[in-house]
Structure 1
Amino acid sequence: MLGLEYFKFAEVWSPVFLAVMLLITAGYLVLTGPVNEKWGQPAVTAGRKSLFFLGMTVLYLAQGGPVELLGHMMFSFHMVSMALSYLVAPPLLMLGLPAWVWRSVASFLGRGPLRRLGFLTHPVVAAVVFNGLFSIYHLPVVHDYVMLHFGVHRLYYFILFLASVLMWWTLVKPLPEQAGAHGLKKMGFIFLNMVLLTPACGLIIFAPEPLYATYSDPEVWAKAMGYCVSGDPAMLLSRFGGPEYFGYLEPRVDQQVGGILMKFIQEIIFASMLAYVFFQWYRQENREDKEEMGPEDFKLNRV
């Protein structure tokens, strides 16, 4: 199945990463169970817990499961992994955490030197930082370097995840009492995110040739694969010859499909949110107009 049958169970499913995710999930259950009761907080609903579990599942599949391994073999799966990791998982995880947890986090970050980074929570700054980091990462020279250096790879992905949380903060609004963007401002923020990611996707989609050595140069590919597959990279080369062995599409077409998938997933998510925010704003405006109208005005309008 897409070449996964050639690899060991541990290489496809990353049991160590799975164990870490299960430990985090267990900690979440303790936090939302005994700890939540001890601190006298409202019970966490089953729906909120389900969102967290779903977010953890998506993140595991994207960063430790089959999608992660396939992302080292085909650029299209790499972009699916990026979309799941930074556009799907973060809002699910954020919605899954109760508000008192976010208050504790905000209180901790608001003390000491970390409070100087508060400007990063500004909607426009958060959007520019996340989309900027995403775009820089997909510059060919940066992408190939990150893919070939495991420590840099993990660090960059972690920073990108934090940036995505800051970007989603304005949209998810995990603290109900905190002032945030509403109505037209929120729609403008969504539209800004849709626009900022377009240049990177356009570069990938319309490039006249393959951009990334990771997916077109067999030796570079084998070295990058060495971080998620056991054995000598030379063995991978002798066995498979290069990434083309697993790809059903030639590198340039695979690259185009990846760029289209990323933009399509982003457009679906943000367009849906744009529609939701618009209808919420429209209802609120109509409700306020009716409240401002007197009984006589309301009767005249009905006539």
Structure 2
Amino acid sequence: MLGLEYFSFSALFSPLFLAFMLIVTAAYFVVIGPLSERIAGSEPVPLSKKISFVCGMFILYLAQGGPISLLGHLMFTFHMTSMALSFIVAPPLLMMGIPAWLWRVILKINPFKKLGFLARPIVAAVLFNGLFSFYHFPDVHDYVMLHFTLHRIYYLVLFIAAILMWWTLINPLPEKDKASGLAKIGYIFLNMVLLTPACGLIIFSIEPLYATYSDPNAWAQAMGYCVPGDPSKLLEAFGGPTFFNIMSTKVDQQVGGIVMKFFQEFIFATMLAKVFFRWYKQENKEDNDMVPGEYSEGSMNRA
């Protein structure tokens, strides 16, 4: 299916990365379980938070180590699907899965304390969307894709930037969540606008932009980082990425841009509805908290 049958188990499921993700997940359950008794202020973690964290880890694994990661080297559509899952879907799930008391411990670590200013709404929005857009300039994208160490570093930085971007909306610390509902709504629209130029460049380009999806030699070199063996044999066997693509390179690129924008619009629209109704409910509650009798008595005294 989609050419996956031509690749080995290790190429499809990245066993080392899978082991790493399982270790992190196990560490999470140890910290919120047996070790939680040693942490001041710890509380039992609800099942909903555990499910959220596990789902976030599973999605991140699929996007960065599972079949979607490999497909992302074969088709640009899946590359953008991987990006959306890694930086738009997984971060809020992971953030919601970590309890507030554990966040307080994490944020006491010195490097995180020094980076606090990066979580400010405007800074975080510009940082994440700027890094994401810069990565998708054709020359930058191809260079990063063809240099494995830089590729991993860039993705890690982008993931941290995604968490900072989500912090204003998914702030797990009640004492730090000071943004009003109206401010959060504006912040959501800001993020939606900032990502639009990059997606527009990809969707409306009149020609293929990325060598790693159109040049067989560049594609084979990029594939060499996720598929064991000699990359030249990939060229001998398949001739290039068009062997796997069910669309033309140009259409695949356009669909990829649409997929990314769809993911962002859907996730942020869902968040927008959640923020709006919470804000609306809070405003009504404040109005209802006014006691009619006290208001009438005050009015009579003024009279």
Is the TM value for this pair above 0.5?
yes
1:44 Cα shift? Answer: 0.9
Unaligned runs of 5+ residues in structure 1 are 299-303
3-state SS of 2:126 partner: helix
Distance in 2 separating the partners of 1:162 and 1:137: 15
Find out whether 1:11 has 2:11 as its counterpart. yes
Contact 2:87–2:162 under 8 Å retained in 1: yes
Residue in 1 that maps onto 2:199: 201
Residue in 1 that maps onto 2:106: 105
Distance in 1 separating the partners of 2:116 and 2:52: 27
Residue in 2 that maps onto 1:79: 80
1:293 Cα shift? Answer: 5.3
Distance in 1 separating the partners of 2:242 and 2:114: 48
Residue in 2 that maps onto 1:69: 70
Distance in 1 separating the partners of 2:146 and 2:49: 38
Find out whether 1:89 has 2:87 as its counterpart. no
3-state SS of 1:214 partner: helix
Contact 2:168–2:177 under 8 Å retained in 1: no
Letter in 2 for 1:43: P
Distance in 2 separating the partners of 1:273 and 1:230: 40
Distance in 2 separating the partners of 1:235 and 1:295: 84
Deviations 1:261-287 (A, max 9, x none): 000010000011111111111111112
Please, which moves more after superposition, 219-228 or 93-102? 93-102
Change (3 A) 1:116 1:16: closer
Distance in 2 separating the partners of 1:183 and 1:64: 36
1:297 Cα shift? Answer: 7.3
Contact 2:95–2:170 under 8 Å retained in 1: yes
Deviations 1:98-150 (A, max 9, x none): 111110122223xxx76443221101100000000000000000000000000
Residue in 2 that maps onto 1:221: 219
TM-score (norm 1): 0.94
Change (3 A) 1:115 1:47: closer
Aligned match for 1:119, one of 102, 117, 127: 117
Residue in 2 that maps onto 1:301: none
Letter in 1 for 2:57: M
1:32 Cα shift? Answer: 0.8
Letter in 2 for 1:186: K
Distance in 2 separating the partners of 1:151 and 1:4: 25
Residue in 2 that maps onto 1:145: 143
Residue in 1 that maps onto 2:29: 29
3-state SS of 2:62 partner: helix
Change (3 A) 1:114 1:55: closer
Distance in 2 separating the partners of 1:108 and 1:226: 37
Contact 2:199–2:257 under 8 Å retained in 1: yes
Distance in 2 separating the partners of 1:146 and 1:4: 24
Contact 2:43–2:101 under 8 Å retained in 1: no
1:292 Cα shift? Answer: 2.8
1:207 Cα shift? Answer: 0.3
1:288 Cα shift? Answer: 1.2
Contact 1:136–1:142 under 8 Å retained in 2: yes
Count how many residue pairs are aligned between Structure 1 and Structure 2: 295
Residue in 2 that maps onto 1:236: 234
Aligned match for 1:255, one of 224, 242, 253: 253
Deviations 1:184-217 (A, max 9, x none): 1010001101110000000000000000000000
Distance in 1 separating the partners of 2:58 and 2:292: 52
Distance in 1 separating the partners of 2:256 and 2:55: 24
3-state SS of 2:115 partner: helix
Unaligned runs of 5+ residues in structure 2 are 297-303
